Amino acid sequence: MDATYRYQRRFYDLTRRYFLLGRDTLIEDLAPGQGETVLEVACGTGRNLARIGARYPGVSLYGLDISREMLRTAEVKLGDRARLAAADACTFDGSVLFGVERFDRIVLSYSLSMIPDWPAAVEQALRHLGPDGRLHIVDFGDQARLPAWFRSILRTWLAKFHVTPRGDMEAVLTDLAARHGVTCTFRPLYRGYAWSAVLAR
């Protein structure tokens, strides 16, 4: 991932704003309480964490990413506003990385479509979810209600960046929610261009 993002990180936020839809809605829906903890798994350049910090100044921010190159950009952007660490989304340990075992809000934003074993990343996030905590997810949908030509072009283009929309996301999240004793609210966005989900204790 470092090879992929060594140069992309410099213009990533500028270009992704046009097609990573639903991120700001996710941030508005977070609504953490004063003093609560927010972790973004696969935080990339820190764009979301910066906006979360601006929207909810009383929360403690944490972020992890497998790419140290992306974290370089996040560190410059966030300064001491957030604690960041290099780690794998599927195996991270919050207590080791940050001294925090459970988080009040966890965010997975356009990352599951890039993680090969993405259900494992969701499970690891759920293991770190505190009492009354919520896991917020937004990612590419199946685009089923969009024109076939658009879907074909989009998927070809996404593949160049190692991105694979997860067509079975709703079914997998529903199953994981049942196994972990949490609720799952799932909804399509923009005619299925993207999907949003909240898994809550």
Inter-helix orientation angle 68-78/47-55, to 10°: 30
Residue where the block lists tokens 């195996």: 91
Q: What is the pLDDT of residues 30-86, one digit of tens each?
A: 999 999 999 999 999 999 999 999 999 999 999 999 999 999 999 999 999 999 999
Q: Which residues contact 191 (CB under 8 A, 6 or more apart)?
A: 143, 145, 146
Helix (H, G, I), strand (E, B) or coil at 144: coil
Alpha-carbon distance 137 to 139, whole Å?
Answer: 7
pLDDT at 13 (0 to 100) = 52
* CATH classification for the domain delimited by 2-200, as one of 1.10.150.530, 3.10.180.10, 1.10.760.10, 3.40.50.150: 3.40.50.150
Helix (H, G, I), strand (E, B) or coil at 2: helix
Q: Which residues contact 82 (CB under 8 A, 6 or more apart)?
A: 46, 49, 53, 61, 62, 63, 74
Q: What is the pTM of this model?
A: 0.90
Q: Where are the domains of the chain?
A: 2-200
pLDDT at 1 (0 to 100) = 53
Q: What is the pLDDT of residues 107-157, one digit of tens each?
A: 999 999 999 999 999 999 999 999 999 999 999 999 888 899 999 999 998
